Structure 1
Amino acid sequence: MRIIDHLIAGGFAGAESGRTGDVFDPNTGQVQATLRLGDKAALDAAVATAKAAQPGWAAINPQRRARVLFRFKELLEQNMQALAELLSAEHGKVIDDSKGDLLRGLEVVEFCCSIPHMLKGEYSQGAGPGIDVYSMRQPLGIGAGITPFNFPAMIPMWMFAPAIATGNAFILKPSERDPSVPNRLCELMLEAGLPDGILQVVHGDKEMVDAILDHPDIAAVSFVGSSDIAHYVYKRGVAAGKRVQAMGGAKNHGIIMPDADLDAAVSDLVGAAYGSAGERCMALPVVVPVGEETAERLREKLVAAIGTLRVGVSTDRDAQYGPVVTAAHKAKVEQWIQTGVDEGAELVVDGRGFSLQGHEQGFFIGPSLFDRVTPDMRAYQEEIFGPVLQIVRARDFEEALALPSQHQYGNGVALYTRNGHAAREFTQRVQVGMVGINVPIPVPVAYHSFGGWKRSSFGDHNQYGMEGIRFWTKTKLVTQRWPDGGASGDSAFIIPTMG
């Protein structure tokens, strides 16, 4: 049985806690590896190593730090196929989707290769008599990232690339469900020339999370996961004096106006709702047709499109999506489907009971479609995180606009229309952090930033882009004067002004 360990001080280290966890192959339902779960002692070892290494790394000029990221980019591209296969074997998403996971993370690495430009401060000459003022961005010290199972490559790179580029050391605590790719990314960073101790991986469960949040030498924590845990991480981390960004759950809506290109919208909706088995925080699990005629036409086309979907093992080149990550998650999604039925929604397509020949023990769920879902239903209010699409009918534009705006989550939303005025009105008024117009999954490009509103995000900074650079740095302002030999006299007792 394969053993997965921490990666501390440039090498693999076994956990002292004695606790372990199983890593499954979602395609077969079988255990494929044993993960050694760490505790505070393992974290202390990683922090001590980071603390010793970080000052030297911060002293290296930004160009040289960027060269390490350039080399890492090359190594990741060279190892793309092997990494994608490893990711799919533990997560269950199909190989092409795993490559997308890697590439979206790599785009943030590419952005961070321009770190010399992004660390430039501001300068004001002659702000006062003989006085100049300038600013500089400096690293925080040691940062940590706590990442979810659904993007085991992309989200770690969203965090560690800007943290390391700005001169910090970084400790990654990935999901226990698919930990191998995060370890491999760390190995490639070391191969690229990163000094030992600047990027380390510790594995664990809540015990490790709490140790990270409480550790006095960790200055900042980035988290992505469910909203309840995000709120917990934010409160506990801030109480410990840390800078925290904590991204939570989502219930993204797709609004379909009567003038929308329905064929294009349906193609997008099916991919956004069922791709990666719906295990994306930017999935699109709710579709809101405006008007009964639009709803009936949309439903007919969705049922037809769902009927053509192919669910298969992650290595099946023809499969649109694979299994969910664990048996427990499969049971949770199926329970949410039953909850929707119990609450009175119409189950048009039932994905429960799906079985793949030869992989009967795998964690597969077929695509499900609900119609006549209403906002008072718990199955609408909560995140299902599975291959389930819900139709919520709206009478008009205002009702459609209100649904995502009033929902507890505010991560992403999409509007399908040919009307520029409607699109402009929608983007200005909707109370959601990321908006797509005829784009089903509006994840911003790497040189912008990612972040939702309401219970989808806790903290003041978004992920990656310039927001990420700001999160992982602190600004120092310098006001300087070079005396010309004159005495200050009594003016030294007066608060300085620039007059």
Structure 2
Amino acid sequence: MRQIPHWIDGAAVAGTGPRRLPVWDPATGEAQAEIAAATAGEVRAAVLAARAAFPAWRAASLSRRAEVMFRFRELVDAHRKEIAGQLSAEHGKTTADALGEVARGLENAEFAAGAPYLLRGGYSEGASSGVDVYSIRQPLGVVAGITPFNFPAMVPMWMFCNALVCGNTFVLKPSEKDPSVSLLLADLLRRAGLPDGAFNVVQGDKEAVDTLIADPDVQALSFVGSTPVARSIYEAGTRAGKRVQALGGAKNHMVVLPDADIAAAADAAVSAGYGSAGERCMAVSVVVAVGAVADPLVDAIAERVHRIRVGAASDPDAEMGPLISREHRDRVAGYLTLADEDARIVVDGRRTTPTDADGFFLGPSLVDRVPTGSALYTDEIFGPVLSVVRVDTYDEALALVNGNEYGNGTAIFTRDGGVARRFQYDVLCGMVGINVPIPVPVAYYSFGGWKASLFGDLHMYGPEGIAFYTRTKVVTSRWPDPATSEVDLGFPKVR
């Protein structure tokens, strides 16, 4: 069985822990590799390597750090097919989805390459007589990232690109379900010129996370995952005196008004609901159909769902791949059993699953007339199940979105600019799309939700990412005024 190592102090290091965790091939259902879950000692070794590398990397000039990030960006671009192939092999997403993930990750490296501009401070000359005041941004030290299985390349790049270019050193704990991409990224950072120890990877599970939280040398933690885990990490990390940003779950609503372009809305619902098998925190999981649009919209979505080809990434025509594990597939399918009782199943993914496949496949499902008290509506399913909730008015739709415990992303489809403007003003959500189903911000804005979708006060990547990985220092200075000083400054005094 292939062994997936850690990456500590600039090199791959074989794990020595006694607990072995399998890495599955979701397309075949077979174990393809395993990791030795990191021990507390191995996590500590990674943190110590990062601590030792910090002084020199922190002292590197802004132009030097930006140069490394630019080289890294070029290397990722040159190896995007290799990275995408590894993503597909361990996550199961189609080649198109994998290449899209790499592209979105690259945006963050491009943004971080602007560090000389992003890390500028402010300056006030003559704040008082002979006194100048200015602010500077400085790195925190050793920071850590804990990332999910659904975007094993992009989400780490949300974190470490900004963290490194700000002068921090980094320890990554990727998902144990698809860990190999982290090693590809580590090697590309090394080839880009990042000093040994500045970026480290520990393979593992909760034990590794708990060790990072408790380590006194880790100054900050970034996390993306489910809400219960996000809340736990935020509480434990802040209790340990660390800066924490913890992004949690989602239940993203797409509101469709009666005046919307039904074809465009149906296309959007299908791509946003079933892309990457629905394993996205920004996936649309609830379509809120307002008034008379419901019947034609459901028909249009159903017609498109029937055409989705499910298959392995090796199938060039596949539009949706398998789920990440057998347990997760069975959990998602269990919600369709609830739908048999509570709602009307329009397309049943259990019946459209490829019969000749041995992997963790589940066909896309569409469920209409879902009650808001059903687990189909309240739970974050994280799979290819799209629910339709019918309401009579815009105000009911807005109340539904605002009353949900999550506030990650939402969208509205309409031809009415006034209503769209009202929606963006009134909706309680961190990211809003207007005729855009998945409003993931470009890298020069920041990503994050509201309510139970975020624990902490700073969102991920972009300007808020720079703020998270730095702390400001204000300097107040006084120097002799050359016009009045009795000290000979070597030039004529101004009269």
TM band (smaller chain): over 0.9
Supply the distance in 2 between the matched residues of 1:10 and 1:218 (Cα, whole angstroms).
19
Does residue 478 (structure 1) correspond to residue 475 (structure 2)? The answer is yes
Partner of 2:430: 433
1:356-390 CA distances to partner (integer Å, 9 max, x unpaired)?
3542x210001111111121112201100000000
User: Which residue identity does 2:363 align to in structure 1?
Assistant: G
How much has 1:16 moved relative to structure 2? Answer: 2.8
Supply the distance in 2 between the matched residues of 1:37 and 1:438 (Cα, whole angstroms).
44
Supply the distance in 2 between the matched residues of 1:374 and 1:424 (Cα, whole angstroms).
28
Supply the distance in 2 between the matched residues of 1:416 and 1:353 (Cα, whole angstroms).
30
Supply the distance in 1 between the matched residues of 2:437 and 2:369 (Cα, whole angstroms).
21
Partner of 2:135: 135
How much has 1:50 moved relative to structure 2? Answer: 0.8
User: Which residue identity does 2:349 align to in structure 1?
Assistant: G
Partner of 2:349: 351
Does residue 397 (structure 1) correspond to residue 407 (structure 2)? The answer is no
How much has 1:353 moved relative to structure 2? Answer: 4.7
Supply the distance in 1 between the matched residues of 2:123 and 2:211 (Cα, whole angstroms).
40
Partner of 1:172: 172
Partner of 2:488: none
How much has 1:339 moved relative to structure 2? Answer: 2.4
After TM superposition, what 4+ stretches of structure 1 lie above 3 angstroms from structure 2?
A: 483-487
Supply the distance in 2 between the matched residues of 1:181 and 1:438 (Cα, whole angstroms).
33
Partner of 1:491: none
How much has 1:27 moved relative to structure 2? Answer: 0.4
Kept in 2: contact 1:87–1:178 (CA 8 A): yes
Kept in 2: contact 1:250–1:409 (CA 8 A): yes
How much has 1:74 moved relative to structure 2? Answer: 1.2
Kept in 2: contact 1:314–1:323 (CA 8 A): no
Partner of 1:336: 335
Partner of 2:125: 125
Supply the distance in 2 between the matched residues of 1:92 and 1:319 (Cα, whole angstroms).
11
Supply the distance in 2 between the matched residues of 1:422 and 1:262 (Cα, whole angstroms).
17
What pairs up with 1:123-202 in 2 under 5 angstroms? 123-202=123-202
Partner of 1:492: none
Indicate the SS of the match to 1:470. helix
Does residue 318 (structure 1) correspond to residue 303 (structure 2)? The answer is no
Partner of 1:40: 40
User: Which residue identity does 2:50 align to in structure 1?
Assistant: A
Supply the distance in 2 between the matched residues of 1:457 and 1:114 (Cα, whole angstroms).
27
How many residues align structurally?
484
Indicate the SS of the match to 2:96. helix
Supply the distance in 2 between the matched residues of 1:188 and 1:353 (Cα, whole angstroms).
43
Partner of 1:496: none
Supply the distance in 1 between the matched residues of 2:372 and 2:403 (Cα, whole angstroms).
10
Supply the distance in 1 between the matched residues of 2:52 and 2:299 (Cα, whole angstroms).
62
Indicate the SS of the match to 1:216. coil
1:244-295 CA distances to partner (integer Å, 9 max, x unpaired)?
000000000000011100001101110100110000000001001110x210
User: Which residue identity does 1:262 align to in structure 2?
Assistant: I
Kept in 1: contact 2:15–2:35 (CA 8 A): no
User: Which residue identity does 1:321 align to in structure 2?
Assistant: M
Supply the distance in 1 between the matched residues of 2:306 and 2:6 (Cα, whole angstroms).
44
How much has 1:355 moved relative to structure 2? Answer: 4.0
Supply the distance in 1 between the matched residues of 2:299 and 2:221 (Cα, whole angstroms).
46
Supply the distance in 1 between the matched residues of 2:367 and 2:159 (Cα, whole angstroms).
36
Supply the distance in 2 between the matched residues of 1:484 and 1:112 (Cα, whole angstroms).
39
User: Which residue identity does 2:328 align to in structure 1?
Assistant: H
Q: What are the ranges of 5 or more consecutive residues in structure 2 without an aligned counterpart? A: 486-495
Does residue 380 (structure 1) correspond to residue 393 (structure 2)? The answer is no
Supply the distance in 1 between the matched residues of 2:194 and 2:289 (Cα, whole angstroms).
51
Partner of 1:211: 211
Kept in 1: contact 2:376–2:387 (CA 8 A): no
Partner of 1:279: 279
Supply the distance in 2 between the matched residues of 1:136 and 1:185 (Cα, whole angstroms).
30
Comparing 406-415 with 7-16, greater Cα deviation is found at 7-16
How much has 1:14 moved relative to structure 2? Answer: 2.1
Aligned in 2, Cα 1:73/1:88: closer, same or farther, shift over 3 Å?
same
1:47-71 CA distances to partner (integer Å, 9 max, x unpaired)?
1111111110010001111111111
Provide the identity percentage.
Answer: 52
Supply the distance in 2 between the matched residues of 1:290 and 1:118 (Cα, whole angstroms).
43
Kept in 2: contact 1:50–1:198 (CA 8 A): yes
Supply the distance in 2 between the matched residues of 1:351 and 1:92 (Cα, whole angstroms).
17
Partner of 2:466: 469
Comparing 314-323 with 52-61, greater Cα deviation is found at 314-323
Q: What are the ranges of 5 or more consecutive residues in structure 1 without an aligned counterpart? A: 488-499
How much has 1:78 moved relative to structure 2? Answer: 1.1
Kept in 2: contact 1:16–1:41 (CA 8 A): no
TM-score, with length taken from structure 1: 0.95
2:407 to 403, 407, 410: 410
